[in-house]
Amino acid sequence: MSSVNLAVIYYSSTGINYQLAQWAADGGKEAGADVKILRIPEHAPESVIQSNPAWKAHVEATASVPEVTEHDLEWAHAIIFSTPTRFGGMAAQMKQFLDRTGGLWFQGKLVNKVVSAMTSAQNAHGGQEQTILSLYTTMYHWGAIVAAPGYTDPALFAAGGNPYGTSVSVTQDGKMVENVRDAVIHQAKRTVNVAKWVKAGQQG
């Protein structure tokens, strides 16, 4: 069977979700997938970005990361999204991209994509679970197959025990509180493996 294509699609203002995306890519590669890391385009005002040194530095550091396109969604068998929490929901940049997928949805090209999601917030009860669930709501409309990690590996407990997707708390100086690397890698491997099963079933 040919390998699974995994798109790791992230939005990050200061780098946390970019790091999660890199770990997810590592896990996907370990599971044998062809992997692309793709960033959501930034549409915050330049003046706002320039006023935040960490945000400005991250935008400059990741300028070479390819921006996601609708073609990448067609290419992927599996997709992992990573977005910071914004008032209990996904970042506006992520939502804007998803809102542009209506054409692919109408053509049925998003059906049976295997998807999973990750997030970050400044505290553990800042809407992390709700952010992931809100993203999955869009995926249900796609007809996608959600591959949540559940409690399928001990790494999930060390990472805080979020069964919907890896989430991490971040201090005000931009440091991750929980150790989530192994949880992210497990989540990515699980997502790829589910995509392999789906692809094998479609080819059978």
Give residue 167's domain range.
Answer: 5-203
What integer pLDDT is reported at residue 148 of this predicted model? 97
Q: Which long-range contacts (CB under 8 A, 24 or more apart) does 135-138 make?
A: 135/81, 135/83, 135/90, 135/94, 135/98, 136/164, 138/98
Verdict on whether the full-model pTM lies above 0.85: yes
* Residue-wise pLDDT tens digits, 129-177: 999 999 999 999 999 999 999 999 999 998 999 999 999 999 988 889 9
Per the structure, how many domains does the chain have? 1
Which CATH number characterizes residue 101's domain? 3.40.50.360
For residue 1, pLDDT beyond 70: no
Residue type, 7: A
* Residue-wise pLDDT tens digits, 63-79: 999 999 999 999 999 99
Q: Are 117 and 108 in contact (CB under 8 A)?
A: no
19-23, 45-49, 112-116, 139-143: range with lowest mean pLDDT: 45-49
